[in-house]
């Protein structure tokens, strides 16, 4: 759906010819970087990428929405400081961490220390999220909060650009599941925005890098195609991602991506727990007083973390009331020790990404560090140590790189031409997560492996496990865990009409297709050996099909059907 | 051939074509794509090998009987830089993000074919394996009748002989 619309735009601009001075005829999609903590908007203005500012002249906007009476207000226009609103329980933030997650997710559990209500019942449905308004809990959802915020961003962009804004390219974390992407899509639809692309953050950075390298090569006239390989490490408040890109002539080829739900928020929570080890107990009742305390502790810890990027130690003094006072000097060494697990995970993520890209460290031309956490000395240090490098790439603002890349993609996907060739760009994306089905007992059998170049189409042949098995269940998952339930469920459907045959004879062909705009389709069909006609029509299913509360679907299916509709890969049969 | 789908996208057509179209060339393709030989790639390989001996589906469609070198438009002796730049040049034209509007539906298939060729030829081990296994059989299929091929390679003793 997004794909066709994008292509229509491209044709519009082709028919309008070279007239670049008529941006209204082909609407340039804006780029939006929705951060866990901050958001920004950028657009191709006809000659370069420009960040849009709000009425207070800010280009980095706090990602939060405050619920007051009937009218929620977001961080784009709101005059009050985020820090104080946090104390009242009326401000909802960190929605990027919560969106599309069920209440059994550890990330949702760790969000319970936020100064608003996140309640989990551990049954595989969406968590209960609420803001405190006039001493009552007003429930909301991450999609609603995001949509309110996007409406404000859109209004801001429309004022600045003096035209309606409908088309957007949004950046997303690498580790987002396809289900989470549908929630982002829904939030955009609620805000009246049409998503041209959801672009993994480091690949947006890679596109900006590709443009910079192309421009540099043209300036220096160094001939053409010398390939540059870059490692991109992006760590914000909610997520961290890595990517390896090989770039030449404006084409950015993503060799590998890797992502994790790991960010400044984890560092912050570690520090809060360090300052107040009994925190979870103290705050468990979530009353007005507790929320205020949580907010105070949060503001103090956040401030300390920020200052430790430039100072060797910081003094923390925070009065939480009721004789609960915290006075402490926190050194950078302590900070690093408290967060050593976070840093270890960053290291393993980068190593995995380099391994998947099959590049040697010596082959890397540039190391690009972006995101708010790239200011933390330890993060800088560990990335540079892995890459055996002294200096990181200097050509980008770490807080603006992703949104600038998204704006470039927005212009390219809108079919805008630049007479100087500054938009002759292309990103060849790779799938961040493997996609497969449940088969061979309770195993996850990937059909498209992670880091496969898109568009892509792969198939595997399965067969039945019972004699005269007439039906088979295709349960589609996304992820890289061998135990099937640990992956993200995307949907399921049934293949019926398998002709009576001993087990292992019918061939069930399952094919997965990802197009260039990342739409996933699953095809499944039956083939009988020696027959040219399939006994039943093939099925084509667009994924994901699951909705909220899907956390328990797999379990329910298992309860209802056991192994009666199972499949095994054909290769297993050959081996036995 | 039976075609169950009217769309230009390669949906399930007859089983042979479905697999055959993708497995070009059947015997080597699987190893090419997956770095770590997994359970699945083995299944691919064995299934593909079987099909090769029984049906040789790929020969039904002449356009598929081209070498990876022809797909990328490069001579057999091309350097790795030449392979990379040929891949990028073709991607700039064939990738669905940039392909002209009337070719959107076919460009995905085209790009996938280009990428399959690139991913084999850009890896020295896979390329050597490909040269050894595929081209030997490929020649015997009657490549000499294709004059385009000799155009790419200045001195190729086989084609020279044919001429």
The closest CB to that of A516, out of B42, B44, B97, belongs to: B97
Does pLDDT of B155 surpass 70? Answer: no
**pLDDT > 70: percent of chain A:** 93
- Strand stretches in A45-175, DSSP E: 49-51, 61-62, 64-66, 73-74, 91-93, 117-119, 128-133, 136-140, 167-172
A355: nearest CA in chain B? Answer: B35
The pLDDT mean for chain B works out to 59
* Of A180-184, A228-232, A261-265, A530-534, minimum mean pLDDT range: A530-534
Please tell me the predicted confidence (pLDDT) of residue B137. 66
- Which is more confident, A138 or A24? A138
What's the CA gap between A458 and A460, in Å, rounded? 7
Judge if the upstream peptide bond of residue B156 is cis by omega within 30 degrees of 0.
no
H or E, element range at A318? strand A313-319
**What letter would DSSP give residue B46?**
H
Min Cα–Cα distance to chain A from B26, Å = 13
- Three-state secondary structure call for residue A73: strand
**pLDDT > 90: percent of chain B:** 25
Tokens 């899509």 found at: A185
Please tell me the predicted confidence (pLDDT) of residue A531. 86
User: pLDDT tens digits, residue range A360-396?
Assistant: 999 999 999 999 999 999 999 999 999 999 899 999 9
Does pLDDT of B157 surpass 60? Answer: no
Does pLDDT of A103 surpass 80? Answer: yes
Q: What is the mean pLDDT of residues A416-438?
A: 93
Closest by Cα among A43, A35, A48, A28 to A167: A28
**Residue of A449, A512, A533 for testing the chain B interface, max B β-carbons within 10 Å:** A449
What's the CA gap between A334 and A323, in Å, rounded? 25
Judge if the upstream peptide bond of residue B25 is cis by omega within 30 degrees of 0.
yes
CB B52, CB B66: distance < 8 Å: no
Please tell me the predicted confidence (pLDDT) of residue A56. 84
B15/A412 touch (CB, cutoff 8 Å), yes or no: no
What's the CA gap between A24 and A164, in Å, rounded? 9
User: pLDDT tens digits, residue range A205-214?
Assistant: 999 999 999 9
Q: Residues of B at the A interface (Cβ-Cβ below 8 Å)?
A: 2, 4-5, 9-12, 14-15, 18-19, 22, 33-35, 38-40, 42-44, 46-47, 81, 84-85, 88, 91-92, 95-98, 100-101, 104, 108, 111-112, 115, 119
Closest by Cα among A87, A129, A112 to A299: A87
Question: pLDDT confidence of B100, banded at 50, 70, 90?
Answer: low
A446: nearest CA in chain B? Answer: B40
Min Cα–Cα distance to chain A from B109, Å = 8
Tokens 């993520």 found at: A349
Please tell me the predicted confidence (pLDDT) of residue A302. 93
* Of A311-320, B13-22, B127-136, minimum mean pLDDT range: B13-22
**Residue of A5, A217, A571, A574 for testing the chain B interface, max B β-carbons within 10 Å:** A571
Judge if the upstream peptide bond of residue A455 is cis by omega within 30 degrees of 0.
yes
A251/B101 touch (CB, cutoff 8 Å), yes or no: no
Does pLDDT of B15 surpass 50? Answer: no
Give chain A's radius of gyration (CA, Å). 25
Min Cα–Cα distance to chain B from A242, Å = 20
Residues of A whose CB is below 8 A from B74: none
Record the tokens describing residue B157, joined without a space: 């003793």
User: pLDDT tens digits, residue range A158-175?
Assistant: 999 999 999 999 999 999
B3: nearest CA in chain A? Answer: A533
Does pLDDT of A459 surpass 90? Answer: yes
Question: Burial level of A553, CB count in 10 A (0-12/13-18/19+)?
Answer: middle
Q: What is the mean pLDDT of residues A98-102?
A: 94
What's the CA gap between B66 and B145, in Å, rounded? 12
Residue A294: alpha-carbon gap to chain centroid? 27
Contacts of A82 (CB under 8 A, 6+ apart): A62, A64, A75, A91, A93
Please tell me the predicted confidence (pLDDT) of residue B20. 34
Please tell me the predicted confidence (pLDDT) of residue B41. 33
Please tell me the predicted confidence (pLDDT) of residue B140. 55
Q: What is the mean pLDDT of residues A90-99?
A: 93
What's the CA gap between A350 and A359, in Å, rounded? 12
In degrees, rounded to 5, the angle at the alpha carbon of residue A53 between the alpha carbons of residues A51 and A57 is: 135
What's the CA gap between A10 and A319, in Å, rounded? 58
Question: pLDDT confidence of A81, banded at 50, 70, 90?
Answer: low
A511/B12 touch (CB, cutoff 8 Å), yes or no: yes
Closest by Cα among A329, A407, A334 to A165: A407
H or E, element range at B147? helix B147-152
Record the tokens describing residue A534, joined without a space: 């399939």
Closest by Cα among B95, B85, B88 to A251: B88
Closest by Cα among B58, B142, B112 to A428: B112
B44: nearest CA in chain A? Answer: A460
H or E, element range at A330? strand A325-331
**Residue of A3, A4, A7, A356 for testing the chain B interface, max B β-carbons within 10 Å:** A7
Does pLDDT of A9 surpass 50? Answer: no
What's the CA gap between A344 and A293, in Å, rounded? 31
User: pLDDT tens digits, residue range A21-37?
Assistant: 444 457 899 999 999 99
CB A66, CB A85: distance < 8 Å: yes
Closest by Cα among A92, A133, A91, A86 to A297: A86
B12: nearest CA in chain A? Answer: A538
* Of A85-94, A246-255, A510-519, minimum mean pLDDT range: A85-94
Question: pLDDT confidence of A434, banded at 50, 70, 90?
Answer: very high
Which pTM value belongs to this model? 0.83
Please tell me the predicted confidence (pLDDT) of residue A223. 59
Closest by Cα among B98, B120, B121 to B108: B98
The closest CB to that of B96, out of A446, A515, A523, belongs to: A515
Min Cα–Cα distance to chain B from A449, Å = 8
What's the CA gap between A82 and A217, in Å, rounded? 43
Q: What is the SS3 assignment for A255-309?
A: EEEEEECCCHHHHHHHHHHHHCCCHHHHCCCCCHHHHHHHHHHHHHHHHHHHHCC
Please tell me the predicted confidence (pLDDT) of residue A22. 41
A460/B12 touch (CB, cutoff 8 Å), yes or no: no
Determine the longest span between alpha carbons in chain A, in angstroms: 82
B43/A571 touch (CB, cutoff 8 Å), yes or no: yes
Please tell me the predicted confidence (pLDDT) of residue B40. 33
Residues of A whose CB is below 8 A from B44: 460
Does pLDDT of B2 surpass 60? Answer: no
- Which is more confident, B81 or A2? B81
Please tell me the predicted confidence (pLDDT) of residue A225. 61
B29: nearest CA in chain A? Answer: A458
Question: pLDDT confidence of A533, banded at 50, 70, 90?
Answer: confident
Residues of A whose CB is below 8 A from B5: 538
**What letter would DSSP give residue B3?**
B
CB B45, CB B28: distance < 8 Å: no
Please tell me the predicted confidence (pLDDT) of residue A16. 35
* Of A55-69, A71-85, A255-269, minimum mean pLDDT range: A71-85
Residues of B whose CB is below 8 A from A523: 11-12
**What letter would DSSP give residue A345?**
H
User: pLDDT tens digits, residue range A472-516?
Assistant: 999 999 999 989 989 999 999 999 999 999 999 999 999 999 998
User: pLDDT tens digits, residue range B20-53?
Assistant: 333 333 333 333 333 333 333 333 333 333 333 3
What's the CA gap between A243 and A389, in Å, rounded? 17
Closest by Cα among A346, A369, A383 to A232: A369
B108/A515 touch (CB, cutoff 8 Å), yes or no: yes
Tokens 């088969």 found at: A439
Residues of B whose CB is below 8 A from A511: 12, 18
Question: Burial level of A408, CB count in 10 A (0-12/13-18/19+)?
Answer: buried
Residue A263: alpha-carbon gap to chain centroid? 12
Min Cα–Cα distance to chain B from A507, Å = 10
* Of A25-29, A52-56, A152-156, A337-341, minimum mean pLDDT range: A25-29
Closest by Cα among A94, A134, A100 to A113: A94
Q: What is the mean pLDDT of residues A222-236?
A: 86
Contacts of A561 (CB under 8 A, 6+ apart): A473
* Of A274-283, A434-443, A524-533, B45-54, minimum mean pLDDT range: B45-54
A569/B39 touch (CB, cutoff 8 Å), yes or no: yes
B1: nearest CA in chain A? Answer: A532
The size of chain B, in residues, is 163
A449: nearest CA in chain B? Answer: B34
Tokens 């909301």 found at: A140
B88/A10 touch (CB, cutoff 8 Å), yes or no: no
Min Cα–Cα distance to chain A from B131, Å = 22
Record the tokens describing residue A254, joined without a space: 């993503």
Residues of A whose CB is below 8 A from B81: 225, 227
What's the CA gap between B83 and B73, in Å, rounded? 9
CB A52, CB A160: distance < 8 Å: yes
């Amino acid at each position: 759906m997004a794909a066709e619309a994008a292509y229509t735009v491209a044709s519009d601009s082709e028919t309008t010819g070279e007239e670049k001075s008529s941006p209204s005829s082909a609407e340039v999609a804006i780029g939006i970087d929705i951060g866990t903590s901050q958001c920004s908007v950028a657009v191709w203005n006809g000659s370069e990428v420009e960040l849009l500012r709000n009425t207070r002249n800010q280009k980095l906007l706090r990602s939060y929405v405050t619920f007051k009476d009937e009218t929620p207000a977001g961080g784009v226009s709101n005059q009050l400081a985020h820090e104080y609103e946090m104390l009242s329980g009326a401000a909802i933030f960190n929605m990027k961490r919560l969106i599309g997650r069920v209440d059994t997710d550890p990330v949702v559990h760790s969000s319970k220390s936020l100064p608003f209500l996140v309640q989990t019942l551990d049954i595989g449905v969406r968590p209960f999220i609420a803001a405190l308004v006039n001493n009552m809990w007003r429930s909301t959802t991450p999609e609603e909060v995001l949509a309110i915020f996007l409406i404000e961003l859109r209004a801001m962009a429309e004022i600045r650009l003096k035209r309606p804004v409908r088309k957007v390219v949004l950046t997303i974390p690498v580790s987002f599941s396809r289900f989470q992407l549908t929630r982002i899509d829904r939030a955009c639809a609620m805000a009246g925005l049409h998503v041209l692309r959801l672009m993994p953050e480091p690949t947006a950075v890679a596109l900006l890098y590709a443009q910079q390298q192309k421009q540099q090569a043209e300036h220096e006239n160094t001939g053409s195609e010398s390939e540059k390989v870059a490692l991109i490490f992006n760590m914000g408040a909610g997520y961290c991602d890595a990517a390896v890109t090989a770039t030449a002539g404006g084409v950015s080829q993503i060799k590998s991506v890797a992502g994790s739900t790991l960010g400044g928020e984890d560092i912050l929570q570690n520090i809060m727990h360090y300052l107040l080890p009994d925190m979870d107990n103290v705050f468990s009742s979530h009353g007005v007083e507790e929320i205020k305390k949580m907010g105070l502790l949060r503001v103090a810890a956040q401030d300390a973390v920020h200052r430790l990027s430039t100072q060797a130690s910081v003094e923390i003094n925070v009065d939480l009331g009721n004789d609960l006072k915290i006075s402490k000097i926190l050194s950078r060494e302590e900070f690093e020790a408290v967060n050593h697990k976070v840093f270890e995970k960053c290291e393993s993520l980068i190593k995995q990404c380099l391994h998947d890209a099959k590049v040697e460290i010596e082959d890397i031309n540039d190391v690009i560090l972006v995101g708010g956490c790239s200011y933390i000395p330890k993060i800088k240090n560990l990335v540079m140590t892995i890459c055996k490098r002294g200096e990181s790439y200097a050509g980008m603002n770490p807080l603006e790189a992703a949104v600038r890349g998204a704006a470039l993609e927005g212009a390219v996907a809108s079919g805008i031409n630049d007479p100087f060739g500054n938009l002759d760009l292309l990103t060849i994306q790779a799938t961040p997560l493997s996609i497969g089905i449940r088969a061979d007992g309770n195993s996850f059998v990937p059909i498209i492996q992670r880091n496969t170049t898109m568009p892509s189409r792969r198939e595997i042949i399965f067969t039945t496990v019972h004699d005269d098995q007439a039906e088979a269940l295709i349960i589609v998952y996304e992820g890289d865990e061998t135990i099937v339930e640990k992956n993200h469920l995307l949907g399921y459907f049934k293949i019926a009409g398998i002709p009576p045959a001993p087990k292992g004879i019918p061939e069930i062909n399952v094919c997965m297709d990802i197009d260039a705009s990342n739409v996933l389709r699953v095809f499944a069909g039956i083939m009988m050996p020696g027959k040219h006609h399939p006994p039943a029509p093939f099925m084509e299913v667009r994924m994901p099909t699951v909705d909220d509360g899907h956390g328990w679907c797999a379990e329910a299916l298992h309860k209802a059907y056991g192994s009666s509709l199972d499949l095994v890969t054909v290769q297993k049969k050959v081996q036995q | 051939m039976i075609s169950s789908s009217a769309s230009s996208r390669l949906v399930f057509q007859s089983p042979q074509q479905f697999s055959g179209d993708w497995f070009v060339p059947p015997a080597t393709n699987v190893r090419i794509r997956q770095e770590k030989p997994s359970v699945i790639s083995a299944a691919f390989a064995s299934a593909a090998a079987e099909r090769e001996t029984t049906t040789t589906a790929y020969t039904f469609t002449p356009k598929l009987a081209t070498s990876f070198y022809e797909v990328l438009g490069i001579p057999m002796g091309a350097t790795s830089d030449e392979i990379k730049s040929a891949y990028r040049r073709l991607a700039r034209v064939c990738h669905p993000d940039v392909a002209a509007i009337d070719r959107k539906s076919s460009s995905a298939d085209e790009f996938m074919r280009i990428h399959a060729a690139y991913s084999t030829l850009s890896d020295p081990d896979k390329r050597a394996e490909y040269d050894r296994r595929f081209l030997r059989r490929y020649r015997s299929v009657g490549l000499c009748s294709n004059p385009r091929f000799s155009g790419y390679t200045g001195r190729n003793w086989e084609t020279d002989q044919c001429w």
